[in-house]
Amino acid sequence: MQNDQKYLEDFIVNSIIGEGSEFVGEFKVDGLIRIDGKFKGLINTNGKVLVGKTGTVDTDIRAKIVVLGGTINGSVYASERVILLATSKLYGDIVTPNLVLEDGALFHGKCTVTPS
């Protein structure tokens, strides 16, 4: 039961910056943050960051997992995995032990694959 609880917690969105919204500042969160609007500042979480297709992020991101469907102008530091979806645009560097790039993803930067 405890594993089921942890699995479900991985999909609970703790915070959302919706389409049409803008946020400037420092964002620290436990769990998952989804960004469909515009964000500028600092993102630091021990969970996941999901940037939706309409999301634009101007910052460096530090997280466990980063899934990108929109645009990031900044570097990504993920302790577990980075996933760049077909609609993604990343202008910055990536440091992670696992990287997944879908066909069509745009990536301008350098990638460092670190041991897990």
Query: For the residues of 51-81, what is the DSSP string, one character each?
Result: E-TT-EEES-EEEEEEEESSEEES-EEEEEE
**pLDDT value at residue 9:** 47
**pLDDT value at residue 100:** 95
The structure tokens listed for 28 are 């620290």
**pLDDT value at residue 51:** 95
**pLDDT value at residue 13:** 57
**7 three-class SS:** helix
Gap between the Cα atoms of 63 and 12, Å rounded: 16
Gap between the Cα atoms of 50 and 70, Å rounded: 9
Residues in the chain, pLDDT under 50: 1-2, 4-9
